[in-house]
A and B are shown apart, each in its own frame.
Chain A
Amino acid sequence: MNGEIEEIRGTFKPELIPAETGGNIDDYEEALHVLMKFVGSMSSALEQVSGRGANAIVYQAGKRMGHEAGKLMEKTDDLEKAMGELSEILGQEFYFEMWKPSDQDSYTVEKGNETEVKLLFMDCVVRQTLRRTGLPQKGPLCYLLYGYMVGAVEEVMDIRGKLDIDHVGPNACLKTLTINWSGK
């Protein structure tokens, strides 16, 4: 791109459904960068104004999104199947796998009425956004994914869940998903 803005002129009718998107790949890239900066700044400002309450607000927003996304998926009681479905919901932008330390036999750990499973998030748009905008990880934006995951798992398995962030790194983040079988 040589810095000139190319104007697209045409006829607009509200009843026409666009058959294809306009612009080229550079436009999308530019739009993505701007959006990312907005989201990063919003998250940072939210934290500044609301303090730790920011995490709760964003968590609720994520949870609602997760519940909506989970409604499209098949209900199951099988944790591994649910993880597979969650993987589909989250798509390639949030690629994760179940993880366990080498001295642990199974991915799941039973603790009374609860089951814990560790999830390793390898690809994450949130992490990329935070690092791109120079913001610390484990902030409100991370809680969006946290809520999204919990909302989706609650919807798919019809249980109550929570996700704790164990560790954040530049290439992967480890989270613990706890499922409470006593239901909602």
Chain B
Amino acid sequence: MVKIVIDEDACVGCGSCVEDCPNDVYEMDEAKNKTKVVKVEDCMACLSCHEICPAQAMEHQDIHVAKRLYIDRSVKDAINKII
């Protein structure tokens, strides 16, 4: 079962995830001005919400992570040197 953890300290309350989710998994908590998970059972782990979230405020646990077939190792090595 998918578990979604929202970092409320990081969430900026932009509502992008609420708009982007095709299955209405999220809703805005108007009192807190933060997003909240309301239908986790309908999450298909497409991770569109991750991509659109400007604050990287969410984490999906226990999901199928798509196989990463194309990792550019030379780019990865270059980035690792910078980081």
Contact = CB atoms under 8 A, between A and B. Distances in A.
Nearest to B40: A102
Contacts of A174: 22, 44, 46
A86 B69 CA distance: 21
B39 A102 contact: yes
Contacts of A166: 22
B22 A167 contact: yes
A63 interface: no
The interface residues of chain B, by DSSP majority, are classed as loop
Contacts, number: 66
A172 B39 contact: no
Give chain A's interface secondary structure class: mixed
B7 interface: no
Given A102-B39, A122-B64, A167 B46 contact: yes
A122 B68 CA distance: 11
Given A169-B48, A171-B47, A123 B22 contact: no
Interface stretch (A106-114, A125-133, A151-159): A125-133
Interface of B: 22-23, 39, 41-42, 44-48, 50-51, 63-70, 72-73
Given A92-B67, A128-B68, 11 more contacts: A99-B44, A120-B44, A122-B45, A128-B70, A129-B70, A167-B22, A167-B48, A168-B46, A170-B46, A170-B51, A171-B45
